[in-house]
Amino acid sequence: MKYFLLVVFTALTLSACFTPNGNRVSFSSLNPQTDISPARPAASYEMYSWYNGQDWAYAIFENGVKISSTFQEITQDNNIIVGSRYAQEKLLEMPRGTKVYWNLKRIQGFQMPDQNTVDDIVRSAKKSGVTVEVIAWPN
C-alpha cells in the first residue's frame, strides 16, 4: 500500500509539471515582473513642484504640510529633489498602495511641468503600485 501511494503521489507531482498539450512548464515561462503581492496600506504624501531656474524641483512630504506653510518654507526643506527623473525614482521606492497628492494648494509659486512630464511621472508611479493624483487649482 505504501508503494502504491508513493507511485500515485509521484505521478501526480510529475503531471503537474506539464501543460494539457504535453509541454513542460518551466519557471522561465512565468513572468518575473508580475508582482502578485497585495498592496499594503501606506501613508499618503503631498508632492509640490516648481521650476528653480535650471530644472524642475520637487518636495514630497509624508502626510502633507501645515495649511499655513509658505512657498519659501516648502522649497527650503531638506527633502528637495531636483530633476523629474529623480522624482520618478523616489516615487518608485515607495510601497505599493501609497497615494501621492501632487498638490499646489493655492500657494503662490508652485507650478506644474509640461503635460508630457506630468504624464510620465504619473504613469511610472502607477506601474509600481503608487497612485499619483494631480490636484492643480487654477490661479
Q: Does any domain span residue 39? A: no
Structural domain span for residue 92: 44-135
Q: Does any domain span residue 116? A: yes
Q: Does any domain span residue 57? A: yes
pLDDT tens, N- to C-terminus, the chain (139 residues): 655 555 555 555 555 555 555 555 454 554 555 555 555 555 689 999 999 999 999 999 887 777 778 899 889 888 899 999 999 999 999 999 999 999 877 788 899 999 999 999 999 999 999 999 998 765 5
Q: Does any domain span residue 4? A: no
Q: Does any domain span residue 86? A: yes
State the DSSP code for 31.
-
Q: What is the pTM of this model?
A: 0.66
Q: What total number of domains does the chain contain?
A: 1
d(C-alpha 11, C-alpha 102), whole Å: 56
d(C-alpha 101, C-alpha 48), whole Å: 9
Q: Does any domain span residue 14? A: no
Q: Does any domain span residue 131? A: yes
